[in-house]
Amino acid sequence: MLSNKPYNERDDLEKIQSQWNKLSGLHTREEWSAAVVRAATAAEIAANFAIRKEFAAKSEFDSKFVDSLLRQANGLTGKMDRLLIPLNVGKKQLKTIKQIRVVANNINELRNGIVHRGEFCNEEEAKAAIQWSRQFVEELIHIYDSTFELKDKCVR
């Protein structure tokens, strides 16, 4: 069972689902800004997953080195622009990745307003961010794992 496994022992897909479960509860309690941060975190973990898959397929870099690159890329849009897009140049999935890059920017902008400027968001903004995050997570993960499915405990 997922909840019995310590968070730091979960793989990226399990962490995404954990974030999704948590944001569902936050949304239910009308904690809009906190739900947005969890949705953005799920999206960033999805980017981590994709980048790790790309490095595993293209290199023999160890996980510590790849993790250091993920930290240096700093944030969702940084990971997209500095790692994921360059790793996919010349591949057919680049078009999908560039399309969801726009969604990543929307997510990142709302999240950064909350965590860096202390802004609050309302229910409609939270619903939009959750939908953007769902789209981002599912479209990106499906490039690498067509069986992945967010267990829907959250608003649509």
Say whether pLDDT at 49 is over 60: yes
130 near 41, Cβ under 8 Å?
no
Quick: pLDDT tens for 97-118. Answer: 999 999 999 999 999 999 999 9
Say whether pLDDT at 43 is over 50: yes
Say whether pLDDT at 123 is over 90: yes
**Sequence ranges of the domains in the chain:** 11-144
Q: What is the mean pLDDT of the chain?
A: 94
Mean pLDDT over 12-30 rounds to 94
Residue with tokens 């239910």: 28
DSSP the chain: -GGGS-GGGS-HHHHHHHHHHHHHHHHHTT-HHHHHHHHHHHHHHHHHHHHHHHHHHH----HHHHHHHHHHH-HHHHHIIIIIHHHTTTSTTHHHHHHHHHHHHHHHHHHHHHHHH-----HHHHHHHHHHHHHHHHHHHHHH-TT------S--
* CA torsion, ordered 6, 131, 111, 94, to nearest 10 deg: 90
Band of residue 2 on the pLDDT scale cut at 50, 70, 90: low
Q: Which residues contact 8 (CB under 8 A, 6 or more apart)?
A: none
pLDDT, residue 1, reads 47
Looking at CATH, the fold of the domain delimited by 11-144 is given as Four Helix Bundle (Hemerythrin (Met), subunit A) (1.20.120)
Band of residue 132 on the pLDDT scale cut at 50, 70, 90: very high
Say whether pLDDT at 61 is over 90: yes
Say whether pLDDT at 155 is over 60: no
Quick: pLDDT tens for 69-96. Answer: 999 998 999 999 999 999 999 999 999 9
